[in-house]
Structure formats: C-alpha cells, structure tokens
Amino acid sequence: MQPIDEIRVRLDGDMQKLESLVAAPGAVAGAPANEGEGAKALSRQFEELKVRYLGKKGDISGLLRVMGTLAPEARPEYGKLVNELRDIAEARFAALQAKIQEAEIADSVSGSTLDATLPGYRVPLGSLHPMTQVREEIISFFQGLGFELALAPEVDNDWYNFEALNIPPDHPSRDMHDTFYVDDKVVLRTHTSNVQVHYMETHQDQPIRIIAPGFVYRVDNDATHSPMFQQVECLVVDKDISFANLKGTLFLWARHMFGTETTMRFRPSYFPFTEPSAEMDVSCYFCKGQGCRTCKQTGWIEIGGCGSVDPNVFGKVGWDPEKYTGFAFGFGIDRITMLKYGIPDISHLTRNDNRFLRQF
C-alpha cells in the first residue's frame, strides 16, 4: 500500500501550497509576483494539478492500473483505499475551485468603479398584449370544450378563400370582403374560414371540432376597422348537428367572456357558406342592456356571424351533405378586446404606446 500513502502525502502537500496561494491577500490580483500568479495563472495551476492526480493518466488512475498485478485476496482492500483517496481528492479540488471562483469575483469587483452596494436598476415587468390575453382566453375556453386548434395559410389560393366556401368569381358577396389580391388566384385571406376547407379536405368522414384563430386582411380602415385584424372561427361537423347546438355553444362562450348576466340574440343574416345564417348580438357589456353610447342606445352589441354549414360547402370538399351537418361561427378578436376593455379606437391596439399597454 506504500504507493497509495506516498501519493496521499504528495497530494496533501500540493493542495496545501495551492490553497495558501488562493487564501493569500491579493493572490488572484497578482501575488506572489515571482511565480507569475494572477487569476489566469492560478486557474492554470489548479487545472494542471487536477489533471496530475485525477486525469486519465494521473497518479490516482495509475494506481488502479496496477491492481491486476496484485494477488486476488489483496485487490478488494487495495481498491477500497484507492477509491477513498480519489474521493478525498475530488472533494478537495471541488472546494478549492469554489474558492478560486469567489476570489476571481472579489478581485473583479475590487478593481471596478462599480459600487456593488447600490441597488440595481429595476427592470419593469411586462404583460401580454390585451388582444393576446383575449385570444388565449378564447382558445382556452373552447379547448376546454374539446375543440382542437387548427391553422391555415394567411396568403392562400382563391379556391380556399372563396370558391370552396360557396363564393364563385361572379358572386356579389366578394365585394363585401374588399380583398387584397396578390395575383388573380392568390389573395390575403379575408377570413379564417379558409381553415374549414383545408381541415375538411384532410380529415374526411370523421367528426370535426376545431377552433381557428389568426390574422385576416381587408381593404378597410377607420376607428373600428383595420386593414389587418384577428379573427377566431369555430367549426363543428358530425351527424345530427343542429342550430340548437350552435346557440348553446355560443351562449356558454358569451357568459364566460362577458359575465353570467350576459344575454344574447340572433338576427337573420346572410353568409354564402352557412344556411341558415345569423348575426349574434350580446347584451351591452357596459350598460347591461339598458342603452348607452357604446351600443347606440340599443342595449345590444354585434359580436359576429354564425350559421349551419351550407350543403354546397360539404360538396366542394368531398363530404356527403346527406350524412353530415355542422355549424360555424366567427368573430373579430379586436372587436371582442375593444368591448371587453372599453377601448374606443382600434388603432390603440397597434400603436405600441406603453401608456396604453401598461393598463393591462
């Protein structure tokens, strides 16, 4: 066991020498100068010493390599002593490394004009944009009902944005959309309804329950309209889906979003891709249906459109309209955000004015 004792004594002496250098005042800054110490030199000495003892070709590893030359009955005791020596060495090197790092930090601070006792700069906490908050709340609600998140391109073929949704080239409703055209067959989508077509094409003959948020684009710009805004659309397709299912789903959502006292109504309307179609109104969030400036004294605020999926849409994407029925509805996230937070001008949502955003 003599080689083990020799290495143990030599390790102890080398470690004591290096530990005294680290503990000496100003050691990391440059003392003792005759040995060229300093932060880098001290770290280099530490690494060299660690490799000398714990490296693959180090002294302790060398002890394990000679174990095969020992008698079998001597090997267990020998291996135990070598492992104990290695554990001691690793612990002392780890402690010394922590001291060197502390000394380097202290040296860095002492040589700086920075007053470490001064309080730091307060970094203000940010928050999610109000539209992001509303969008995530809507998504979370419908996912809780079992809806799946679905997406589609914002720049899409005319087929997906119009024709597959029962809006042929000569259809007058195309004028309602004020479309941005990339070319004759490619458009910036005017609604998230293109998600319906993409999804039904790739999920044939199976129940569908999806929610599709995203940006849409129309040539429109005033206090309540923007050329780029966000919509969220839902589609449900299955056997025996009725308009009553649509009303029940929207009623649950409206009470969740605007409060349990919220009531709603449906007004007959027209959308090419639903039949029958309706506009959904909710009781005014501000006056609770009594009439105010926001709801133009009617007590109601329009939220979005909805209806049962038109059989022609099923036919366009290869579904059997005699077998399946469904409903769809969509509304603008911008409009919901304005109503929920009482924002009078839609441009506030895109100005990036911190005075406005800090309120949320």
Kindly list the domain boundaries of the chain, sorted by start residue.
2-110, 130-357
Strands 208-217 and 186-188, by their bridges, are unpaired
pTM reported for the whole predicted model: 0.64
Tell me phi and psi for residue 67, to 5 degrees. -60, -30
d(CA 46, CA 249): 69
Q: Average pLDDT for residues 132-154, to the nearest whole number?
A: 94
pLDDT at residue 148 greater than cutoff 70: yes
The helix or strand, by DSSP H or E, that contains position 135, with its residue range, turns out to be: helix 130-144
Q: Lowest mean pLDDT: which of 206-220, 246-260, 333-347?
A: 333-347
Tell me phi and psi for residue 125, to 5 degrees. -75, 135
Q: Using alpha carbons, list the distances in angstroms from residue 151 to 132, 175, 243, 265, 273.
A: 16, 25, 25, 29, 19
pLDDT at residue 32 greater than cutoff 60: no
Please report where in the chains the tokens 């998600």 appear, as a residue. Answer: 195
193 vs 125, which has greater pLDDT? 193
- The DSSP 8-state label assigned to residue 190 in this structure reads S
**Among 74, 300, 297, 330, which Cα is nearest to 196's?**
330
Strands 274-283 and 186-188, by their bridges, are unpaired
Task: Please tell me the predicted confidence (pLDDT) of residue 307.
Answer: 95
CATH class of 130-357: alpha beta
Q: Average pLDDT for residues 56-74, to the nearest whole number?
A: 82
% of the chain at pLDDT higher than 90: 36
Asked whether 229 and 189 are in contact (CB, 8 A), the reply is no
d(CA 310, CA 322): 12
What digits encode the pLDDT tens for the residues 308-339?
999 999 999 999 999 999 999 999 898 888 88
**Among 234, 231, 259, which Cα is nearest to 246's?**
234
d(CA 134, CA 258): 11
pLDDT at residue 252 greater than cutoff 60: yes
| Other Cβ atoms closer than 10 A to 68 | 7
- Please state, rounded to an integer, the average pLDDT across all residues of the chain: 85
d(CA 316, CA 123): 54
Q: At what angle do helices 39-54 and 75-110 cross, to 10 degrees?
A: 170
Asked whether 60 and 89 are in contact (CB, 8 A), the reply is yes
Q: Average pLDDT for residues 224-248, to the nearest whole number?
A: 89
The helix or strand, by DSSP H or E, that contains position 20, with its residue range, turns out to be: helix 2-23
d(CA 78, CA 1): 7
Q: Average pLDDT for residues 231-253, to the nearest whole number?
A: 94
**For 288, left (φ over 0), alpha (ψ -120 to 50), or beta?**
left
CB-based burial, 238-253: b 16+ in 10 Å, e otherwise = eeebebebbbebbeeb
pLDDT at residue 39 greater than cutoff 90: no
Task: Please tell me the predicted confidence (pLDDT) of residue 27.
Answer: 55
Q: Lowest mean pLDDT: which of 30-34, 89-93, 238-242, 338-342?
A: 30-34
| Other Cβ atoms closer than 10 A to 59 | 18
d(CA 81, CA 20): 27
Number of H helices, E strands in the chain: 12, 9
pLDDT at residue 35 greater than cutoff 60: no
